[in-house]
């Protein structure tokens, strides 16, 4: 194994005192893996039927979180993750993890979805502390021909006839790791998959593997996942009662076009399958280069399952393939085109709200809503040299994507700046999870805030307040009722007042 430059003795001693996870004289590599528009129960290690052996192996050798949160939407999660502030974007007053770790001696690389600026020469990863980047600037696009595909700062095109973006993300992440391993410096790598965000695209062979699994519909899938999660000990019936299906969900027995709908869920599963294969290739590269033992791998989703249905140009993400198809005299089937099977290059569909309800088992709501179904993500942490938990453990301790900044800084012995590149930097709002990694306890009373698309929430201690639009605040005891089925607002009005005051102190009294 390549031996990296060791931190000075004083810094190491301070780190050992401050952080039970600091068990090695070597600062760890840090790899954050983010996936897109996925449900709480999709992974095998969280009760899903989709084949995810590589993530399951990381869970079996690491720690699973059942109370980890995001912002309930793509770009706010990415901005919040990278900056350590609750954010809708990266402002001049913020720094990224890459910008903080790079002066501390870390190599930095990113692969995948950026979604925090469209100009790679002005507001892309290279301008935000990453040494190298391969991916897409926009929030979505064809997996066969990705929109805004970029290497560093240059627009590029797919480089092979069998190009599939998820597989390529894995290949490029491996290439970065192999380059990093040639240096004695530790590295920070951020891998942001677009799977399983629409459009529903996957290789046909993998789609065919999953078709039989969804023939009985979304109600059966939801019930099967719930039973499996109970058996695995991920949840229990008392604290995680299964809520009624979301109001928009149609009974399976009454819907038409069943084969088309089954295929869509099979495509979704195939997309997750290929993401897991790419993770396996990344872990394999860490093993081959002798880096796995001292690499902290953190995996989570950017939001909950996606209920969206498409039309037009797919929110401006299908422009490139629409133009190419038109030039070739072809058409692209966008949205719920029931007479066209989804999955190929000339399709651009979504899995929709019915299946999304099952993907989020057993949580309420979806992406864009800060109930648990939109804002709670499965998370995995794996670090052989530093994780102080029994392998395969499950924790109910909380975490949030906002905590990545403080966690990375502590483990990397890095300092958050008050000024950077001539700019005044706003303090971060991040809480280090190194104490959890090291086997300790987080402060249960720590406050987490949520504010997106007209839905608002605060979590502190046992309780969460949440509201939708101009509706009343609801109150849930998450320690006793994780699936938000019992509103306690009338029973504990003082607690509602206390938590809403916290929200208003952070965001103001706006109602939208």
Q: Contact, 371 vs 455, CB < 8 A?
A: yes
Q: Give yes or no for residue 219 having a pLDDT over 60.
A: yes
Domains by residue range for the chain, with CATH: 9-442 (3.40.720.10), 445-512 (3.30.1120.10)
Paired strand residues for 343: 201
- How long is the chain? 512
Whether the Cβ atoms of residue 275 and residue 202 lie closer than 8 Å to each other:
no
- Chain segment 425-458, per-residue pLDDT in tens: 999 999 999 999 999 999 999 999 999 999 999 9
pLDDT score of 21: 37
N-term to C-term CA, the chain:
53
Report pTM: 0.94
pLDDT in tens, 60-71: 999 999 999 999
Asked if pLDDT for residue 312 goes beyond 70, the answer is: yes
**Which backbone phi and psi does 297 adopt, to 5 degrees?**
-100, 125
- The answer to whether 297 and 33 have CB atoms below 8 angstroms apart is yes
Strand partners, 134: 111, 151
| 450: CB partners within 8 A, 6+ apart | 69, 71, 72, 370, 375, 456, 457, 458, 459, 466
Statement: residue 172 has pLDDT above 80: yes
Task: Return the higher-pLDDT residue of 26 and 127.
Answer: 127
Q: How high does pLDDT run on average in the chain?
A: 94
CA angle 228, 38, 438 (to 5 degrees): 75
Q: What is residue 22's predicted lDDT score, i.e. its pLDDT?
A: 37
Beta strands 29-35 and 187-192: pairing type?
parallel
Q: Read off the pLDDT of residues 470-510 as tens digits, 9 standing for 90 and up.
A: 899 999 999 999 999 999 999 999 999 999 999 999 998 75
pLDDT at 147 over 70: yes
Residue with tokens 């969900």: 249
Closest CA to 68 of 364, 298, 305, 282: 298
pLDDT band at 380 (very low <50, low <70, confident <90, very high): very high
pLDDT of residue 393 exceeding 60 = yes
CA–CA distance, 31 with 494 (Å, rounded to integer): 42
pLDDT of residue 510: 58
Lookup: tokens for 264: 């869509």
Residue 478 near residue 499, CB atoms below 8 Å: no
Residues 6+ positions from 229 with CB-CB distance below 8 Å:
41, 46, 47, 235, 240, 361, 362
Positive/negative CA dihedral, 78, 31, 69, 273: positive
Give which of 445, 61, 5 is closest to 283, Cα–Cα.
61
Phi and psi (nearest 5°) for 483?
Answer: -95, 10
DSSP labels for 391-424? TTEEEEEEEEGGGHHHHHHHHHT----SEETTEE
């Amino acid at each position: 194994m390549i031996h990296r430059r060791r931190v000075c003795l004083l810094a190491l001693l301070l780190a050992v005192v401050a952080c039970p996870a600091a068990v090695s004289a070597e600062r760890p590599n840090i790899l954050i893996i983010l996936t897109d528009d996925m449900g709480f129960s999709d992974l095998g290690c969280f009760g899903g039927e989709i084949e995810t052996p590589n993530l399951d192996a990381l869970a079996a050798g690491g720690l699973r979180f059942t109370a980890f949160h995001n912002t309930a939407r793509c770009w706010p999660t990415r901005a919040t993750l990278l900056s350590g502030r609750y954010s809708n974007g990266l402002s001049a007053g913020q720094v990224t993890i890459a910008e903080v770790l790079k002066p501390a001696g870390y190599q930095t690389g990113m692969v995948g979805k950026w979604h925090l600026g469209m100009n790679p020469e002005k507001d892309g990863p290279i301008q935000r502390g990453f040494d190298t980047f391969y991916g897409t600037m926009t929030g979505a696009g064809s997996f066969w021909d990705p929109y805004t595909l970029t290497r560093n700062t240059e627009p590029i095109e797919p480089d092979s006839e069998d190009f599939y973006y998820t597989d390529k993300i894995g290949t490029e992440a491996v290439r970065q790791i192999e380059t990093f391993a040639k240096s004695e410096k530790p590295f920070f790598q951020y891998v942001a998959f677009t799977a399983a965000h629409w459009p529903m695209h996957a290789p046909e062979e993998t789609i065919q593997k999953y078709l039989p699994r969804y023939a009985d519909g979304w109600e059966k899938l939801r019930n099967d996942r719930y039973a499996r999660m109970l058996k695995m000990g991920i949840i229990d019936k008392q604290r995680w009662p299964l809520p009624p299906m979301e109001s928009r969900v149609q009974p399976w027995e009454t819907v038409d076009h069943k084969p088309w709908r089954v295929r869509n869920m099979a495509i979704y599963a195939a997309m997750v399958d290929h993401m897991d294969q790419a993770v396996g290739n990344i872990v394999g590269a860490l093993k081959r280069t002798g880096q796995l033992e001292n690499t902290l791998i953190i995996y989570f989703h950017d939001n909950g399952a996606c209920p969206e249905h498409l039309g037009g140009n797919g929110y401006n993400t299908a422009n490139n393939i629409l133009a190419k198809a038109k030039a070739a005299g072809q058409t692209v089937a966008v949205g719920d085109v029931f007479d066209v099977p989804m999955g190929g290059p000339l399709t651009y569909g979504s899995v929709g709200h019915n299946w999304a309800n099952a993907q989020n088992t057993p949580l309420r709501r979806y992406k864009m809503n800060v109930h648990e179904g939109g804002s709670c993500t499965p998370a995995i942490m794996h670090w052989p040299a530093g994780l102080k938990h029994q392998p395969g453990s499950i924790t109910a301790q909380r975490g949030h994507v906002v905590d990545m900044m403080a966690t990375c800084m502590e483990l990397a012995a890095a300092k958050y700046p008050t000024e950077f590149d001539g700019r005044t930097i706003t303090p971060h709002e991040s809480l280090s999870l190194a104490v959890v990694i090291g086997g300790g306890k987080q402060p249960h009373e720590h406050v987490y805030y949520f504010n997106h698309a007209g839905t608002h929430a605060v979590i502190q201690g046992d309780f969460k307040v949440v509201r939708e639009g101009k509706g009343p605040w609801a109150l849930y005891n998450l320690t006793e009722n994780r699936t938000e089925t019992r509103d306690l607002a009338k029973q504990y009005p003082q607690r509602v007042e206390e938590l809403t005051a916290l929200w208003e102190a952070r965001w103001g009294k706006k109602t939208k």
